[in-house]
């Protein structure tokens, strides 16, 4: 597994999409919001697995 900072960058990009929701449909906003929380959830796995692999 790669460095969790890669996933953290995805979380940040997802949050930017949620924040910049002007002129989006409700469905698009919900999709962006869902994607953000999914990225957050997976960040936990990245951190956990990175710590296990690298002995932290």
pLDDT, one tens digit per residue, over 1-56 is: 578 889 999 999 999 999 998 889 999 999 999 999 999 999 998 888 887 666 65
Residue ranges of the alpha helices (H) in 1-56? 4-19, 26-54
What was the pLDDT predicted at 7? 92
18 with 34: CB under 8 angstroms?
Answer: no
What was the pLDDT predicted at 17? 95
Enter the tokens of residue 53: 């692999």
- Residue of 38, 7, 16, 11 whose CA lies nearest to 24: 16
What was the pLDDT predicted at 49? 84
Q: How far apart are CA 26 and CA 24, in angstroms?
A: 6
Q: How far apart are CA 30 and CA 24, in angstroms?
A: 10
pTM of the model: 0.78
């Amino acid at each position: 597994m790669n460095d969790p900072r890669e996933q953290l960058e995805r979380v940040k990009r997802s949050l930017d999409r949620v924040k910049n929701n002007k002129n989006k449909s409700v469905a698009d906003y919900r999709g962006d919001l869902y994607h953000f929380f999914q990225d957050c959830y997976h960040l936990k796995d990245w951190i956990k697995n990175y710590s296990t692999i690298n002995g932290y």
